[in-house]
Every structure is written in C-alpha cells, then in structure tokens.
Amino acid sequence: MRSYVSSRPSDILPKLRSLAGFCASQPIDLYEEVKFEPVLCDAIDIHHTFSESGILTGDIICYQKSPPQNWRIYYSVASFLQHVCDNKGTHVILNFSREDLEQATEHFSNASEVGNTEYGHTYRGMTHNTMVAIKLSSSQSLYLQEVNLVSALRQCRHPNIVAFIGVCSEASALVHEWLSNGNLEGRIVCANDSPPLSWHNRTQIIGDVCSALLFLHSNKPTALVHGDLRPCNILIDAS
C-alpha cells in the first residue's frame, strides 16, 4: 500500500485493518524492516510522521496485532525455556521432534547418558542454550502412561515435583528441567566425590518428598501414584 512520507502511521491503520480482516478497533503495531536476512525490524511510533521516523518511499512496513497487555514476551526460545524451568506454575508443554532431541544429546551418545533403568534411559541435553533432562521410555505403553501423568499435572504444579517442559512422540520421550545436583542415590554414596549430605539436608529432602507424595495422593478427582519411588528417582536441585 502506498503512503506519503508526510502522513502519519495512524492515517493508514484503518486501511491495514481492512486489508487484514481485523475489527475496526483492533490495536496494531507497525515496524520498519531494516534488514532482510535475517529479518530485523524497528518499531514505528504511530504519533510521528513517516518522514520524522526516517521512513522513505520504497521502505517496507510490517504490521501485526498488538499483543494483550497481560502477555509475556520472550525474545528468544532460550528465554522461554528458561521461564518454563523457573516457573513451576506454567501449564505449557512443548512438542519436540526426534531430530531436536538427537541434536541436544549428540545422537543420544553415551557421554550424554545420566541414567538407565528398566523404565528407560535418561540423557542430559542442551536445546536452545538451555540444559534439559530427556527420558526415553522403554516402551510405547509406558510412554503413554507418563504422558497421561504429565497431562494431569499440567493444571496443578508443586514446588517439589519436577517441571515438565515437553514431549516427543517420535522417540517416546519426555523432556523436563535439569537439576544440577544429580539424584539422591548418587549423593548417598558420594558419587563423583560429592560431599555427604548433612542431616539438615537429609531431613529437608524427606520432608520435600512427603510433601510431593501427599500432593499427588490428594489430587482431585483422581489420586496420582508415582509407582517407582526410589533414591535414583529423587532429583536434587542446586539449593
């Protein structure tokens, strides 16, 4: 659409709304494309004329719906994943491809493996500059059971239950936050020369585990059962 540099961006908003099929009151944000590859845009102040904003004839103007004020904006995938890890209250579950997980774990290399039980293999991986734990289920039926559990937990978070980030149906895998201090089994035997747990830490862990179990067993309308509670499945965070 052609406009004149002496006009204001607000003058073309009604036409843009009409072209896009937006309602007449839909707020719109305008941007000037300043770089083509990769695309880089600068926001345009709709209260200034195009010439005041340094926009010349032939420049490319982009527009989009203005996000609601209560939206949280993430400027990179990494920042979004970090929010998922940090915010126990999030209900977002991401879908990963098998290729995503292979890249994160160097094709499920032995060096990336951090756990191995009859229920599956667990790997440490890096995706979008964020460290995550990736569990490959030993069977499709077990994976579906775990997905059902994740779905049940989406609407109710607890500070002592690991935050799930996403799933991968291609690899029958779950992706969850990475806890840097390993599991309780490793800490009990002081694996990798880790210091022994103090009695204060031990009683705190017992209390946290009981709190998480009480939360699961009290879930409504159906109680949730862990089914495999043992030291290797109790993860320790940095605190």
Residue 39: CB atoms within 10 A of its CB come to 11
Give the Cα separation of 73 and 56 in Å (integer).
30
List 45, 59, 228, 237, catalytic entry: 228
Residues contacting 227, CB < 8 A, separation 6+ = none
Radius of gyration of the chain (CA): 25
Nearest to 146 by CA among 128, 170, 173, 117: 173
Query: Encoding tokens for residue 46?
Result: 């709709």
Respond yes or no: is residue 237 known to be catalytic: no
Residues 6+ apart with CB under 8 A from 207: none
For 150, other C-beta atoms within 10 Å of its C-beta total 16
DSSP-assigned beta bridge partners for residue 64: 29
Closest CA to 156 of 223, 64, 105: 223
Question: Token digits for 5?
Answer: 């540099």
198: helix, strand or coil: coil
Active site residues: 228
